[in-house]
Amino acid sequence: MKLRRALRYLSRRPFDLGTPEGRAQERERRVALTAVTNVALRVLSGLLALLTVPLTIGYLGAERYGLWTTITSLLAMMTFFDFGIGHGLMTEVAAASGRGEARLGRLVSSGFYLELLLSGTLFGSIVWLSASGDLGTWFGLESPRALAEAPPVVLLVGAGFCITMALSAVVRVQSGLQDGYITLLWHAAGVVLTLVALITASSFKAGLVPLVGAMVAAPALALTGNFVWFFFVRRPDLCPRPSAFDGNLARGLLGSGSAFMIISLSSALGQLSDNFVIARLGGAAAVPDLAVPAKLFQLLLLPATLLVGPLWPAYGEAHARGDAAWVVRTLWRSTLVSVGIALGGCVVLLLVGSWLVGVWSQQEVQAPFAVLWPLGLAACLTALSSSLGTFLNGIGKNLAHAICAFGMAVVSFGLKWVLFPRAGVAGVAWATVVGYGLFMALPLSWLVVQETRRLRQAAPSVTPAR
C-alpha cells in the first residue's frame, strides 16, 4: 500500500490543483520526479567523474591534468558574474507561479537578455586574458607543452562556460516552475555525449586541447537543445523576446540577485579556490593530491543535490501560498536525510578512501588519512549548510544567508594561503572546515530555528495524509 502511494508521486499525471491538499501533493510529485531523475543523472555524472581520472591523468601527466582542473575550477568560480540574476529569476518565477501572476513572460525575457549581455562581456574578458596574461606564472606551469596549451584551453573552457551562462534562463525557468526533471533529462543527454567524447578522445590519446574541446562542446549542445525545445515547442508563450524586456523587472532582478551573487561568489571562493591556491603555492603538479580525493567526497553531497535542490522553488511556491506546515516539515526531513547519508558515506571513505584513490588514479595520487579526514568533515558541513541555506533562499531570507557565506569565504580563503605552507594540501582542506563550521553551519542553524518558529505561528495548511 505504501509502495503504491509512493509510486503515485512518480506519475506523469498531475494532482488536482484546486485544493490545498492537491497542491501539496503536486508539489511533492514534482520534487520526487526531479529527485529520481537526478539519481539517474548523478549515476551518469559519477561514471564520467570516475572515468575521467584514469583515462586522462596517465597520458596527460599531473601538470597538464592539473592545468585543466585548475582552469575549470577558476571559471566555475565566475558564477558570481551573473550578479545572482539566475537565482533571482528562479525565485521570482516560483513566487509568481505560486501567486498566479501574469508577468512570467516579461520576467523570462528580462532575465535572459541580462544574462546574454553579461556572458558576452565575460567572454570578451576571457579572450583578452588568454592572449595577454602570463598563464604560466598564474598556473605554476613549467613544461613547454603545458605553456603552449594553456591559452587555447582557457578559451575553450571559457567559451563553454559563457554559452552555459547565456542559455541558463531555460534552466532557471524550468526550476522555478518545478519542472527541474526536464532540465535533468537534457543534462543527462549532455553527460552521455560527454562520456562518448571522453572515451573517443582518450582512445586516440588526443592532446589536451582537442580533449577539452570535445568535452566542452557536448554539454553545450544538450543545453542548446533544451533551450530550443522548451521555448519554441513546450512553452512558446515564455520564449524570450526583445519586446518583452522590462527595465523595471530587470532592475528588480539585479537588486534581488545581489544577495545571490554574494552567496555564489562566496561559495565558489570557499570551495573552488583549493586548486588555484595549491597551483600558486605548490605548482600545478600538486593539484591532484587534493583534487582527486576531493572528487570522491563530492559524491557524499549527492543527497543534498537530489533532495535539497528541487526544494528551493518548492519552498518559494509553498511560502507564497502560505503553506507553512509543509515547508517546516519538509525542511527537517530533507536535512536529516542529506546530512545522515553524507555522514555515513564519510565513515566508509575514511576506511577505504586511500585504497580507492590509489586504484582510481593508477597510483599517481596518494591520499593519506590526514587529507581524507578534513575532506569528510567539510562534506558533512556542506550538506548541512546547503539544506539550511536553500530553505532561507526559498522563503526570501537570502540576505542573512549571504552575510554568513561572505564570512565563510573570507576566512576559508585566507586560511588556505596560511595553512598550505605549514600542512600541505591537508591544510587547505582544514581551512574549508573552519570556514563552513564557524560561519555557515552554526549561524545558519540558529537562523533557521528562528524562522521555523515564526512560520509555525502561521495557520497550518492541509497537507497530504501519511
Q: How far apart are CA 7 and CA 93, in angstroms?
A: 28
Residues 431 and 294: beta-carbon distance below 8 Å: no
Q: How far apart are CA 168 and CA 93, in angstroms?
A: 14
Q: Mean pLDDT in each 10-residue stretch from start to end of the chain (466 residues)?
A: 50 64 73 75 72 71 76 65 82 78 84 92 88 77 82 86 90 87 86 84 80 84 94 92 90 81 81 84 86 84 74 83 85 90 91 87 84 93 93 87 93 94 93 94 95 76 42
Residues 292 and 365: beta-carbon distance below 8 Å: yes
Residues 387 and 334: beta-carbon distance below 8 Å: yes
**Predicted model pTM:** 0.68
Return the number of other C-beta atoms located less than 10 Å from residue 142's C-beta.
11
**Helices marked H in 395-441:** 398-423, 425-436
**Which residue type is seen at 290?**
L
Q: Is 281 exposed, middle or buried (0-12, 13-18, 19+ CB in 10 A)?
A: middle
Residues 463 and 407: beta-carbon distance below 8 Å: no
The pLDDT of residue 466 is: 40
Burial 388-407 (b: 16+ CB within 10 A, else e): bbbbbbbbebbebbbbbbbb
What is the CA 294 to chain-centroid distance, rounded? Answer: 15
Say which residue the cell 553579461 belongs to: 118
Task: Quote the cell numbers at residue 451.
Answer: 524562522
Residues 259 and 84: beta-carbon distance below 8 Å: yes
Residues 30 and 179: beta-carbon distance below 8 Å: yes
Secondary-structure percent of the chain, ordered helix, strand, coil, rounded to 5: 85, 0, 15
The pLDDT of residue 8 is: 57
Task: Quote the cell numbers at residue 353.
Answer: 578512501
Task: Quote the cell numbers at residue 251.
Answer: 532592475
The pLDDT of residue 12 is: 61
Q: How far apart are CA 309 and CA 52, in angstroms?
A: 25
The pLDDT of residue 80 is: 62
The pLDDT of residue 15 is: 65
**Which residue type is seen at 393?**
N
Q: How far apart are CA 299 and CA 162, in angstroms?
A: 26
Residues 141 and 150: beta-carbon distance below 8 Å: yes
Q: How far apart are CA 39 and CA 289, in angstroms?
A: 28
Task: Quote the cell numbers at residue 144.
Answer: 613547454
- Parse the chain into domains and list their residue ranges: 35-258, 287-457
Q: How far apart are CA 364 and CA 356, in angstroms?
A: 12
Q: How far apart are CA 319 and CA 99, in angstroms?
A: 10
Q: Is 373 exposed, middle or buried (0-12, 13-18, 19+ CB in 10 A)?
A: middle
The pLDDT of residue 216 is: 84
- What residues have CB less than 8 Å from 396, skipping those under 6 apart? 91, 316, 319
Say which residue the cell 552554526 belongs to: 442
The pLDDT of residue 100 is: 66
Q: How far apart are CA 403 and CA 424, in angstroms?
A: 29
The pLDDT of residue 77 is: 58
Q: How far apart are CA 127 and CA 132, in angstroms?
A: 9
Q: Is 423 exposed, middle or buried (0-12, 13-18, 19+ CB in 10 A)?
A: middle
